[in-house]
C-alpha cells in the first residue's frame, strides 16, 4: 500500500512542476501588453512601466518564474495584477464557502445518484430502470445554469421557500447558511448525479453475473441477504471512482453555480478575475484549482486501492 | 494508457476504449442507427437542431436585432412563441439566429480538437518511446486542469468572441481525443495485419492512415458526438458567465446572460433559450449513446 502511494506521488510532483511552467508561459502568452490593455486609454507609458516594475514583470523571465515557483512552494500565490494585493489571503478567505458548497453538492450527488443507479442496475430492464435511465440521460443534458434558473424561479420567486442567492457563514447563522446552501447544492446534485447513477447502474448490473453472486444464489441465500451482503458492498466501489472522475465536472458546475447564486467562493473569484482580465489572479487560481483537483484524484485513487486490492498490483 | 499510468481519468466515464476481437470496433451504418431506438431519436433531434441553425442563418420570423418587434417583456403568445425581451426583440428569432453561432463554435471546437488530438494520438501511439512518454505527459497535464477552468483561462487571454471560445474549447477537447486515439493505436499496433503491412514495405504514414486509423474511427465518431454535446453546453456556459459571445449579437450563450439580467421580468427568456440548449444537447447525447452501443454492444446500454 505504501509503495503504491509513493509511486503515485512520484508521478504527481513532476506533473505539478510542468503545470507551473505551463501557467507561467500562460501569463506571458498574453497578446500585447496586459498592463496597457488593463489601463486602457488612461495608461501613460510611465504608469505602465511603474506598475510593471511594481508587479515584478520587468525582471528576466527565468528570475520571474523562479520567484513565482518558490512563492508557490511556501504558499505565496503572488500579487493581483490589478490591485497589487497578495492573492493568498484573498483565496483563503474564499475557501470555506467553496468547500461548504462542494460537500453539500457531493452529498446530493450521492443521495440522488447512488440509489437511482443501484436500483436501476439491480432491476435492469425493469420498469424502474426504464424510467431512471432516460431520466439520467436527460439530467446529463441539462446545463447547471438552466436547472439553477428553474429552481430560483420556482422555489425562490414563486413559492418563496428559499432565498434566491447569497451566502452566510455557517458559524454566523447556521440555519440561514443551510437554507442558502440548499438550492445551489441541489443544482450540483441534479446535474452531476446522472454520471454517478449511470456508473453505479452499469457496475451493479454486471455484478449480477459474477460467480460469487451466482454461487450465493445457488446456496439458497435470500435475495435480500445477497443484496445486503454482496451487491450493495460492491456497488459502493464505483462511487469513489466516479467522484474522482467527475471532479472536473463538479468544479465546472461549481463555477456556474457560484456565479448564479452569488456565492462568494473560489470559483467566483476566478470569474471575477477573468472578467477583469487579472491574468496573475487567474494564473494562480488555475494552479490552486488544479492542485485541489490532482490531490483529490490522488485521494480517491488511494481510497479505491485500499478498498480494492487488485488496483495495487 | 498501458505503459504510462495516467493521473487523471477522462471526462467521460462511459467511454473507455475497449479492444474488440476483430481489431476494430463494429461499423456504424445507417441501418444500425435507424434500428437503434436511442440513436435514431438522437439523430432526428440533432437533425432538427441543425435545421434550425441552417434556417436561422437565412430566415427568422422577425429580425433578431430589431427593437420593438413586439411590446417589451411580452410573455409567450402566438405572435412570439418564446416571448420578447427588454427591447421587444422576438426571442424565438434570436434563438434561431443564435443557433448558428453556437453550433458553429461547437463544430469548430470538435473539428479542431479532432484533427489535433488525432495527430497527437497517432504520433504517440505509433512512434512510441520518448515521443509517447512526452506527449502522454502533456496530455496528462492538460487533463489535470478542469475543462471549464482551462477554457475560462484561455478566453481571458483573448478577446471575448465566438472565435476565442472556439479556440479555448479546442485547447480543452484535444487531449481527450489524443488519449483515445493513442490507446486505440497501441491496442492494434502489433496486430498481425499491421505487422504484415510493415513487412510488405509500406511507409509509416501509409500504415498509420490505411491500416491503423480505420480501426480507431468508430471510437472517434462516438467521441465526436460526445464532444459536440460538450461544445454546445460549454459555449452556453461560457456565454452565461459573460466571457463568450457578447450581447447584442445572439448566441445561446449571450442570450443566457441577458436572460439572467432580466430573470424576474422575463423568465421565459432563460427558460426558453435554455430549453433549446437542453434539447440540442439531449439529441446529441442520445445519438452518441446509441452510437457507443452500436460500436461496442457490451458497453452497457439499456438494450443489451
Q: Could you report the per-residue pLDDT of B70-87, keeping only the tens digit for each?
A: 777 777 777 777 777 777
Name every chain A residue with its beta carbon within 8 A of the beta carbon of B13.
195, 198-199, 242, 245-246
The pLDDT of A161-166, averaged and rounded, is: 82
pTM here is 0.83
Residue B304 has a pLDDT of 29
Residues 219 to 238 of B: which have CB under 8 A from any A CB? 229, 233, 236-237
Exposure string over A200-222, b if 16+ CB within 10 A, otherwise e: bbbbbbebeeeeebeebeeeebe
Would an 8 Å CB–CB cutoff place B243 in contact with chain A?
A: yes
Q: How far is B238 from chain A (nearest CA, A)?
A: 9
Chain B closest-CA separation from residue A46 CA (Å): 24
**Are A199 and B300 within 8 A, CB to CB?**
no
CA dihedral A272, A274, A280, A285 (to 10 degrees): 70
Q: What is the mean pLDDT of residues B115-134?
A: 88
Please report the pLDDT score of residue B117 as a whole number: 93
Tell me how far apart the alpha carbons of residues B129 and B205 are, in angstroms, rounded to a whole number. 18
Q: pLDDT band at B113, cuts 50/70/90?
A: very high
- Which residues of chain A have a CB within 8 Å of the CB of B259? 149
Contact B146 A144 (CB under 8 A): no
Q: Write down the pLDDT at residue B268.
A: 82
Question: Is A274 in Cβ contact with B156 (below 8 Å)?
Answer: yes
Look at residue A190 in the predicted model and tell me its pLDDT. 92
- Per-residue pLDDT tens over the stretch A26-54: 777 766 666 776 676 776 777 777 777 77
**DSSP secondary structure code for residue A22 in this structure:** H
pLDDT digit string (tens) for B15-64? 344 444 444 456 677 777 777 888 889 899 999 989 988 888 888 777 77
**3-class DSSP assignment, residue B8:** coil
B104–A contact, CB cutoff 8 A: no
A177 Cβ partners below 8 Å, 6+ apart?
A100, A167, A168, A169, A170
Q: Do A294 and B14 touch (CB under 8 A)?
A: no
In this prediction the ipTM stands at 0.82
- Class for the domain spanning B38-56+80-295: mainly alpha
- Torsion of Cα atoms, A258 then A106 then A185 then A94, to 10°: -40
Provide the residue ranges of all domains of chain A, joining segments of one domain with +.
2-87, 95-312
How far apart are the CA of A91 and the nearest CA of chain B, in angstroms? 16
Q: What's the pLDDT score for residue B4?
A: 35
Listed range (B14-28, B145-159, B165-179) with the worst mean pLDDT: B14-28
Contact status of B61 with chain A (Cβ, < 8 Å): no
pLDDT of residue B36: 81
Output the pLDDT for position B11. Answer: 38
Q: Do A202 and B153 touch (CB under 8 A)?
A: no
A7, A149, A192: which to substitute to probe chain B, counting the most B Cβ within 10 Å?
Answer: A149
| pLDDT (tens digit per residue) in A189-219 | 999 899 888 888 888 887 777 777 777 878 8
CA B41, distance to chain mean position in Å, is 18
Task: Give the gap in angstroms from C-alpha A70 to the nearest C-alpha of chain B.
Answer: 20
What's the Cα-to-Cα distance from B78 to each of B63, B70, B95, B265, rounded to whole Å?
A: 17, 12, 16, 19
pLDDT of residue B299: 54
Neighbours of A67 (CB within 10 A): 14
Contact: A245, B156; criterion CB under 8 Å = no
Question: pLDDT at position B109, please?
Answer: 95
Q: How far apart are CA B297 and CA B29, in angstroms?
A: 14
pLDDT band at A277 (very low <50, low <70, confident <90, very high): confident
Nearest to A137 among B237, B240, B286 (CB): B286
CA distance A273 to A109: 29
Test B145 with A144 for CB contact under 8 angstroms: no
Give the nearest chain A residue to B299 (CA atoms).
A202
> Mean pLDDT across chain A, nearest whole number?
83
CA–CA dist B255, B245 (Å, integer)? 9
List the single residue in B with minimal CA-CA distance to A203.
B300
Residue of A47, A20, A48, A46 whose CA lies nearest to A32: A48
Q: What is the pLDDT of residue A31?
A: 64
DSSP line for B175-187: HHHHHHHHHHHHH
B17: alpha, beta or left, given left = phi > 0 and alpha = psi -120 to 50? beta
Peptide bond into B248 cis (omega under 30): yes
List Cα–Cα distances, B253 to A146, B270, B276, in angstroms. Answer: 12, 10, 11
Closest residue in A to B283 (Cα–Cα): A141
Classify residue A40 by burial, with Cβ atoms within 10 Å: 0-12, 13-18, 19+: exposed
Highest-pLDDT range among A11-15, A82-86, A163-167, B108-112: B108-112
Range of lowest pLDDT (A26-30, B102-106, B240-244): A26-30
Interface test with A, best of B157, B260, B279 (most A CBs within 10 A): B157
Report the C-alpha dihedral over residues A17, A19, A22, A23, rounded to 10 degrees.
-110
pLDDT tens digits, residue range A131-147?
888 888 888 888 888 89
| Cell, residue B172 | 480543452
Instruction: Look at residue B298 in the predicted model and tell me its pLDDT.
Output: 59
The residue with cell 473560489 is A266
From CA B47, how far away is CA B286, in angstroms rounded? 12
Helices assigned H by DSSP within chain B:
30-34, 37-58, 91-127, 129-143, 147-157, 162-188, 192-199, 204-206, 213-240, 252-261, 268-295
Q: Give the C-alpha distances (Å, rounded to integers) separating B45 from A142, A251, B42, B51.
A: 15, 29, 5, 10
Domain ranges for chain B, please list them. 38-56+80-295
Nearest to B11 among A137, A249, A260 (CB): A249
Measured CA to CA in angstroms, residue B281 lies from B184, B227, B265, B287 at distances of 27, 10, 27, 10
Q: Do A130 and B302 touch (CB under 8 A)?
A: yes
- Can you tell me the distance from the alpha carbon of B263 to that of A145, in angstroms, rounded to the nearest whole number? 12
Question: According to the model, what pLDDT value does residue B169 have?
Answer: 94
Mean model confidence pLDDT for chain B: 79
B5 touches A at CB < 8 Å: yes
Which among A107, A51, A114 has a CA at the least distance from the CA of A84?
A: A51
Angle ∠(B110,B115,B121) on CA atoms, nearest 5:
110
pLDDT of residue B127: 85
Residue A189: per-residue pLDDT: 92
Taking the C-alpha atoms of residue B272 and residue B281, their distance in angstroms, rounded to an integer, is 14
**What are phi and psi for residue A245, nearest 5 degrees?**
-65, -40
Tell me which of A123, A128, A248 to substitute to probe the interface with B (most B C-beta atoms closer than 10 Å): A248
Q: Residue B208: how many CB atoms within 10 A of its CB?
A: 21
What is the assigned CATH class of domain A95-312? mainly alpha
Task: Test B278 with A260 for CB contact under 8 angstroms.
Answer: no
List all residues 6 or more positions away from B57 whose beta carbon is below 8 Å from its beta carbon: B97, B100
User: d(Cα A76, Cα A70) in Å, to the nearest integer?
Assistant: 8
Contacts of B173 in chain A (CB under 8 A): none
In whole angstroms, how far apart are CA A236 and each of A118, A225, A228, A307? 9, 16, 12, 10
Smallest Cβ distance to B263: which of A152, A198, A283? A152
In the numeric block, which cell numbers belong to residue A202? 452499469
Q: At B90, is the secondary structure helix, strand, or coil?
A: strand
Q: Which residues, 6+ apart, have CB-to-CB distance to B228 below 8 Å? A: B106, B107, B110, B284, B288
Q: Which chain B residue's Cα is nearest to A201? A: B300
Q: Can you tell me whether residue A198 is helix, strand or coil?
A: helix
What whole-number percentage of chain A has pLDDT above 70?
A: 95
- In this complex, the residue of A29, A124, A297 whose CB is nearest that of residue B157 is A29
Identify whether the C-beta of residue A275 lies closer than 8 Å to the C-beta of residue A163.
no
- Contact residues, chain A, for B14 at CB < 8 Å: 198-199, 202
Supply the pLDDT for residue B265. Answer: 79
d(CA A155, CA B287): 33
Q: Does the distance separating the beta carbons of B281 and A198 come in below 8 Å?
A: no
Tell me what the mean pLDDT of segment A157-175 comes to.
82
Q: Inform me whether the pLDDT recorded for B6 exceeds 70.
A: no
Instruction: Select from A31, A198, A248 the Cβ nearest to the Cβ of B14.
Output: A198
Environment class of residue B9 by beta-carbon count within 10 Å: exposed (0-12), middle (13-18) or buried (19+)?
buried
Amino acid at each position: 500500500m505504501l509503495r503504491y502511494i509513493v509511486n503515485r506521488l512520484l508521478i504527481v510532483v513532476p506533473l505539478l512542476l510542468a503545470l507551473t511552467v505551463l501557467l507561467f508561459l500562460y501569463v506571458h502568452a498574453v497578446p500585447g501588453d496586459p498592463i496597457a490593455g488593463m489601463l486602457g486609454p488612461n495608461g501613460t507609458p510611465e504608469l505602465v512601466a511603474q506598475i510593471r516594475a511594481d508587479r515584478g514583470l520587468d525582471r528576466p523571465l527565468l528570475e520571474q518564474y523562479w520567484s513565482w515557483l518558490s512563492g508557490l512552494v511556501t504558499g505565496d500565490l503572488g500579487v493581483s495584477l490589478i490591485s497589487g494585493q497578495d492573492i493568498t489571503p484573498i483565496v483563503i478567505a474564499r475557501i470555506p464557502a467553496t468547500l461548504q458548497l462542494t460537500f453539500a453538492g457531493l452529498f446530493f450527488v450521492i443521495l440522488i445518484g447512488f440509489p437511482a443507479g443501484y436500483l436501476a442496475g439491480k432491476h435492469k430492464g425493469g420498469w424502474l430502470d426504464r424510467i431512471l435511465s432516460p431520466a439520467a440521460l436527460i439530467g446529463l443534458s441539462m446545463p447547471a445554469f438552466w436547472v439553477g434558473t428553474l429552481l430560483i424561479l420556482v422555489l425562490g420567486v414563486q413559492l418563496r421557500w428559499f432565498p434566491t442567492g447569497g451566502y452566510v457563514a455557517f458559524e454566523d447563522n447556521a440555519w440561514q447558511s443551510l437554507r442558502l446552501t440548499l438550492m445551489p447544492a441541489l443544482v450540483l446534485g441534479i446535474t452531476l448525479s446522472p454520471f454517478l447513477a449511470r456508473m453505479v447502474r452499469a457496475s451493479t448490473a454486471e455484478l449480477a453475473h459474477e460467480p460469487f453472486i451466482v454461487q450465493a444464489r445457488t446456496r439458497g441465500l435470500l435475495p435480500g441477504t445477497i443484496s445486503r451482503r454482496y451487491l450493495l458492498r460492491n456497488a459502493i466501489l464505483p462511487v469513489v471512482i466516479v467522484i474522482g472522475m467527475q471532479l472536473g465536472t463538479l468544479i465546472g458546475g461549481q463555477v456556474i453555480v457560484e456565479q448564479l447564486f452569488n456565492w462568494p467562493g473560489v470559483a467566483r473569484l476566478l470569474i471575477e478575475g477573468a472578467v477583469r482580465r487579472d491574468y496573475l489572479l487567474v494564473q494562480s487560481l488555475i494552479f490552486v484549482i488544479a492542485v485541489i483537483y490532482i490531490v483529490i484524484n490522488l485521494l480517491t485513487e488511494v481510497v479505491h486501492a485500499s478498498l480494492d486490492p487488485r488496483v495495487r498490483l | 494508457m498501458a505503459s504510462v499510468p495516467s493521473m487523471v481519468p477522462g471526462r467521460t466515464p462511459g467511454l473507455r476504449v475497449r479492444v474488440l476481437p476483430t481489431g476494430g470496433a463494429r461499423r456504424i451504418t445507417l441501418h444500425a442507427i435507424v434500428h437503434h431506438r436511442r440513436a435514431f431519436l438522437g439523430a432526428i433531434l440533432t437533425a432538427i437542431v441543425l435545421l434550425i441553425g441552417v434556417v436561422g442563418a437565412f430566415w427568422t420570423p422577425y429580425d433578431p436585432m430589431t427593437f420593438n418587434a413586439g411590446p417589451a417583456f411580452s410573455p409567450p403568445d402566438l405572435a412570439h412563441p418564446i416571448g420578447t425581451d427588454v427591447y421587444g426583440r422576438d426571442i424565438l428569432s434570436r434563438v434561431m439566429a443564435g443557433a448558428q453561432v453556437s453550433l458553429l463554435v461547437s463544430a469548430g471546437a470538435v473539428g479542431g480538437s479532432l484533427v489535433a488530438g488525432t495527430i497527437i494520438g497517432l504520433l504517440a501511439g505509433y512512434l512510441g518511446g520518448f515521443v509517447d512518454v512526452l506527449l502522454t505527459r502533456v496530455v496528462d497535464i492538460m487533463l489535470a486542469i478542469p475543462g471549464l477552468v482551462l477554457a475560462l483561462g484561455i478566453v481571458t487571454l483573448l478577446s471575448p468572441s465566438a472565435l476565442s471560445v472556439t479556440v479555448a474549447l479546442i485547447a480543452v477537447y484535444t487531449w481527450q481525443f489524443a488519449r483515445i486515439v493513442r490507446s486505440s493505436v497501441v491496442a492494434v499496433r502489433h496486430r498481425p495485419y499491421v505487422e504484415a503491412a510493415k513487412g510488405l514495405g509500406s511507409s509509416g504514414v501509409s500504415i498509420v492512415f490505411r491500416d491503423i486509423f480505420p480501426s480507431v474511427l468508430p471510437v472517434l465518431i462516438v467521441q465526436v458526438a460526445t464532444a459536440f454535446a460538450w461544445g454546445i453546453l460549454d459555449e452556453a456556459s461560457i456565454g452565461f458567465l459573460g466571457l463568450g459571445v457578447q450581447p447584442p449579437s445572439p448566441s445561446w450563450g449571450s442570450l443566457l446572460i441577458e436572460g439572467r439580467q432580466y430573470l424576474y421580468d422575463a423568465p421565459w427568456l432563460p427558460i426558453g433559450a435554455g430549453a433549446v440548449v437542453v434539447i440540442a444537447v439531449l439529441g446529441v447525447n442520445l445519438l452518441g449513446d446509441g452510437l457507443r452501443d452500436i460500436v461496442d454492444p457490451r458497453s452497457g446500454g439499456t438494450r443489451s
